Structure 1
Amino acid sequence: MKRTELGRTGTTVGQVALGCMLMGTSTDEPTSYRMLDSFLDAGGDFLDTANCYSWWHAGSGGGESEELLGRWLARDGNRDRVFLATKVGGVVTDVPAALVDGKADWGIAAKLFEGTGADVVRRGIDASLRRLGTDHVDLYYVHVDDLSTPLEETLEALDGIVRAGKVRQIGWSNVRTWRLERIRQLADRYGWVAPVAVQQQHSYLRPAPGVDRAGIAGPEMLDYLGRHDDVSLVAYSPILQGIYDDPRRRAGHGMWTAYAGADSEARLAAVGKVAGDLGVTGNQVALAWALRQESPRVIPIAGTRTWEQFEAFLPALDVELGAEHLALLAEAGA
């Protein structure tokens, strides 16, 4: 696996992060360990989790992913081999209230997030470190941008835990461009630590006209990050839960609704053409495309629930997109 610099920190990480969200709940411990070991063997080191994963799973209250990683990290040498990222601010304060017929209602959940007040940040990192069994994390994200807490309060608390050695770098997730610029201005004004990464939903398909969600990296965010390469784009859902290969996942699928339209249909056709030419899957083409982006540079997160999904993503690292394929992908759509 190739390596890429995180922002302009001088720190390099594997070009793909492994999403650990479902480890310890939907993905059992033996399978999780197998994926983690194989990821390291393939040259990967960037692990992504959060303190709330996976609160929506039956019988879970969150924290299971960090706990599983803590057990795995305790094995000889594993902590020294990884770049570890977790998050704060996405814990749901009343899980039963956020479940409707046993499934997460994200509209309700959004009103129940713990926020990013100073006490939440300080308690959150200490609890995460206990579950992970480590004395620091390498990257600590604000999981959900909290508009009700002054940014100064959140940034000062984050700066404090960096100075205390509990966190090496900070990032922000699900954030709008104007907020990211405000965060950077405040950090510069007060000498606080600034984000070196933003984690947003991003894929080869482009959001449909009129779709404006804080969690999706739209044209303005992409332009901003292309002009400010001290902040890396860490892309979650780079294959949009597999819709490049499975038409059934497009019909009525929640994630597809943000992309449905003629532009996406044209882009899916282009992906299908490239996949056919190369003898690979559409999902692998979408991942290979993400790895070729330079403005901004993209670090995709491969969130794999099963061993079969893990095996399917690895070949994308070796997919060679020629000039003609990159041109076809670039020109597809409106």
Structure 2
Amino acid sequence: MGAVTRPGIAGLTWSALQVLTSGGMDMMELGRTGTRVSRLALGAMQMGGATSEADAIRILDRYVGAGGSFLDTADCYEWWRRVGSRGGESEELLGRWMRAGNRRDQVFLATKGSAVPEYSPALWDADGNPDWDLARRTFAGAGADTLRHALDASLRRLGTDHVDLYYVHVDDLSTPLEETLEALAGLVSAGKVRYLGWSNVRTWRLERIRQLCERHGWPAPVALQQQHSYLRPKAGNAAAGIVGPEQWEYLRLHRDLQLVAYSPILKGIYDDPAKRSGHWMMESYEGPDVDARLAVLGEVAAEVGATPNRTVLAWLLHQTDPSVIPLIGPKTPEQLDDLLPALDIKLDAGQLARLEAAGA
């Protein structure tokens, strides 16, 4: 898809804006689309929920000021923060921020659909804690009408006529893929979506999706948003949303599918051994491989004068086979400030080789 002209800064096209915003953060091509985005993406999941509006605006302004352009949200963010919420708070906040500064055409905007659970008072207990088991059983899914209505609602909240990237947030095994893909193709044809993506999906499903798109002439996904970090998932890990060896190899062979890595620093556990101990995020990684990886990470971090969290981000930014776009989700402006220096960390070939080879 070529350059799209949208109302914005002096009527500039997205391609022209890419040139203007590439002075700070490095830019890279998204898959094989020809569209360039910043190497570091910013997740807005907590904005409007755990992160106050004032802090969210500071984070967004600092990220864009540093040359960032790739914003990520979803229609379900953050329903679990408030009893009775139906999600959408993050999208609404981003919409206000973009309107206030006429910023829509300064950013590459991604959102997601399919993961809002069916409303029920039982989604929260008496203390306001979410029931994730119930939520996962009642996700909206990726039916054609569901996605069309979900996207229209997202566009209203975001205050825009299109998003640059639209993901199926949670792979829906109960809806025929043909139904989902034909509906998504219609959203692209209508100009409401530029590119498509998928998240939390197994490799065999990705291949099936790509085959169906090729057969029917539907637009194929160009982005895969999965959990990916320096620690490797333990043997037998069954999570569909974590990149394992098979999926990594698939991405190496299909370079038109861009990996966008969520939770790249695993909630910040690399900097804090006490936080790692018993943290739920570690359940997918525990084992002898972890200690070996962390030991080498600590050595390299000391050599480059950086924290382990920053070094992990730098390692991800150095990946080329395949390339990775880390998706950070700072809760506070201070957390963003702590992570941005990772952009300037240079790892030499020897350090990269040691980091890659580390493990049990």
Tell me the TM-score range normalised by the shorter chain.
over 0.9
Match of 1:252 in 2: 278
Asked if the contact 2:78/2:89 (under 8 Å) is kept, the reply is yes
Task: Please list, as runs of the form range in 1=range in 2, the aligned pairs for 1:176-195 lying within 5 A after superposition.
Answer: 176-195=202-221
Matched, 1:109 2:135: yes
Which residue, 145, 149, 165 being the options, matches 1:119?
145
CA offsets per residue over residues 37-88 of structure 1, 9 Å max, x none? 1111111000000000001102433100000000001023300100000000
Matched, 1:313 2:342: no
Counterpart CA distance in 1 for 2:102 and 2:217 is 35
Counterpart CA distance in 2 for 1:210 and 1:329 is 23
Moved more, 230-239 or 96-105: 96-105
CA offsets per residue over residues 252-274 of structure 1, 9 Å max, x none? 11110110111011101111111
> Aligned pairs, how many?
334
Matched, 1:92 2:117: yes
Counterpart CA distance in 2 for 1:37 and 1:6 is 23
- What is the CA-CA distance between 1:322 and the residue it aligns to? 1.5
- SS state at 1:216 partner: coil
Superposition TM-score, scaled by structure 2 size? 0.91
Asked if the contact 2:86/2:119 (under 8 Å) is kept, the reply is no
Superposition TM-score, scaled by structure 1 size? 0.98
Counterpart CA distance in 2 for 1:326 and 1:292 is 8
Question: Structure 1 residues 211, 193: CA separation in 2 closer, same or farther (over 3 Å shift)?
Answer: same
- What is the CA-CA distance between 1:279 and the residue it aligns to? 1.6
Which residue, 14, 35, 52 being the options, matches 2:38?
14
Counterpart CA distance in 1 for 2:213 and 2:258 is 17
Match of 2:66 in 1: 42
Match of 2:226 in 1: 200
Matched, 1:80 2:109: no
Asked if the contact 1:61/1:95 (under 8 Å) is kept, the reply is no
Match of 2:186 in 1: 160
CA offsets per residue over residues 197-229 of structure 1, 9 Å max, x none? 010000010001111210001111110011000
- SS state at 1:51 partner: coil
CA offsets per residue over residues 82-133 of structure 1, 9 Å max, x none? 0000000010113543334533333332101000100011001100000000
Counterpart CA distance in 1 for 2:175 and 2:184 is 13
- SS state at 1:22 partner: coil
Which residue, 222, 235, 258 being the options, matches 2:248?
222
Counterpart CA distance in 1 for 2:111 and 2:49 is 17
Moved more, 57-66 or 171-180: 57-66
- The residue type equivalent to 2:99 in the other structure is A
- The residue type equivalent to 1:81 in the other structure is Q
- What is the CA-CA distance between 1:141 and the residue it aligns to? 0.1
Asked if the contact 2:171/2:200 (under 8 Å) is kept, the reply is yes
- SS state at 1:260 partner: coil
- What is the CA-CA distance between 1:295 and the residue it aligns to? 1.6
- The residue type equivalent to 2:65 in the other structure is D
Counterpart CA distance in 1 for 2:341 and 2:349 is 20
- SS state at 1:56 partner: helix
Counterpart CA distance in 2 for 1:145 and 1:96 is 25
Counterpart CA distance in 2 for 1:18 and 1:182 is 29
- SS state at 1:75 partner: helix
- What is the CA-CA distance between 1:275 and the residue it aligns to? 1.2
Unaligned runs of 5+ in 2: 1-24
Match of 2:299 in 1: 273
Counterpart CA distance in 2 for 1:196 and 1:139 is 9
Counterpart CA distance in 2 for 1:22 and 1:3 is 25
Counterpart CA distance in 2 for 1:104 and 1:332 is 38
Asked if the contact 1:177/1:220 (under 8 Å) is kept, the reply is yes
- The residue type equivalent to 1:72 in the other structure is W
Asked if the contact 1:55/1:95 (under 8 Å) is kept, the reply is no
Counterpart CA distance in 1 for 2:350 and 2:120 is 49
Unaligned runs of 5+ in 1: none
Match of 1:68 in 2: 93
- The residue type equivalent to 1:270 in the other structure is V
Counterpart CA distance in 1 for 2:222 and 2:88 is 25
Task: Please list, as runs of the form range in 1=range in 2, the aligned pairs for 1:282-321 lying within 5 A after superposition.
Answer: 282-321=308-347
- SS state at 1:72 partner: helix
Moved more, 187-196 or 271-280: 271-280
Identical pairs, percent: 62
